[in-house]
Homo-oligomer: A and B are copies of this chain.
Amino acid sequence: MTSKTQPGNYFEDFTVGQQIVHATPRTVTDGDLALYTALYGSRFALTSGASFAESLGMPGMPVDPLLVFHIVFGKTVPDISLNAVANLGYAGGRFGVPVYPGDTLAATSEVIGLKQNSNGKTGVVYVRTTGTNERGEMVVEYVRWVMVNKRDQDAPAPETVIPDLPGAVAIDDLQVPFEVTGDYDTTLAGSPFVWDDYEVGEKIDHVDGMTIEEAEHMIATRLYQNTAKVHFNQHVEGQGRNGRRLIYGGNIISLARALSFNGLANAQYVAAINGGSHTNPTFAGNTIYAWSEVLDRLEIPGRTDVGALRLRTVATKDRSGADFPLKGDDGKYDPSVVLDFDYTVLMPRR
């Protein structure tokens, strides 16, 4: 009689080159889209209205790329990060073919790097995760690295392999799933400001704040079938360091993106996640604000209808983004800063 439960993988269970097929293919439906709207209040026209999406040459409302990311990410948790100490970062996130309601998402990961920490108790695991639809087409891929416990501290350290981490996703690697053929309706989109109007270095305070409740972040995180224990179990977390359940960082990404509508309404589609860090934990009761900086304004080869903006969006807790809080004089993140997110959006041109 063998133990039937899944203990998750420990540091010594990973080998470079290992391929991991994650469980539970997940069909995304209109129900998920409605919940996503209800949980974050996103208002971008492309992912909100079928008629708007059709006017941009898509067959219907695409699933928000961040929802795709969360579902794929959730699948990897039982295999990659169930015994993780910390989510260290991600990079090179790129969205592939758009996802529509009815598509079934699955995920696989390849271990691309390993480095045991000097304390001998933990190590860093680097994986490249690929999400696919039911036709095997790539819908998202990204690299992430996590610090994972060793099961046995006496287990020998593996050879250190640190992968070349991708920088910002190259403009040639972006998928542009929509096109502007006629007049683009900035009124229906919610802002007169299009790609041409943004300047590199420009900072935008997104003004509004949103308080998060326990029920909300747990409903969202379960929707993504993300099983990380710290989000759900007050009986255990109440005894822990924080005394509270931790909010899944992806909730903050989606909330910041929804808030960014006020100032970036024409950023219709997230095409890439260049990198990101969850710089401080968030808990129920926190009010999340966001501000953004335009890091780059990029022409897309062969396209004059749509351009790309590389953005940094910073989310804060219980502090307005009006003065663009980021780091202190010591170079460390301000305690109010909970997310520093580097990503690329697609925006119609004039």
Give residues in A with beta carbon < 8 Å to B. 1-2, 4-6, 21, 23-27, 29-35, 37-41, 43-45, 48-52, 61, 78, 101-102, 104, 106, 134, 187-191, 193, 197-199, 202, 204-211, 213-216, 218-220, 222-223, 225, 227, 229, 232-236, 245, 262-265, 285, 287, 318
B220 & A218 in contact (Cβ 8 Å cutoff): no
For residue A38, which residue of chain B has the nearest CB? B223
Q: This chain: how many copies in the complex?
A: 3
B216 & A232 in contact (Cβ 8 Å cutoff): no
A24 & B49 in contact (Cβ 8 Å cutoff): yes
For residue A198, which residue of chain B has the nearest CB? B4
Q: A225-B41, A245-B211, A262-B6 are in contact. Are A1 and B202 (CB under 8 A)?
A: yes
7 example contacts (A-B, Cβ-Cβ < 8 A) are as follows A5-B263, A23-B189, A25-B48, A208-B233, A211-B218, A215-B219, A234-B287
CB distance from A66 to the nearest CB of B (A): 15
Per the bound structure, the CA–CA distance linking A5 and B266 in Å amounts to: 12
CB distance from A140 to the nearest CB of B (A): 17
CB distance from A348 to the nearest CB of B (A): 14
A27 & B48 in contact (Cβ 8 Å cutoff): yes
CB distance from A309 to the nearest CB of B (A): 12
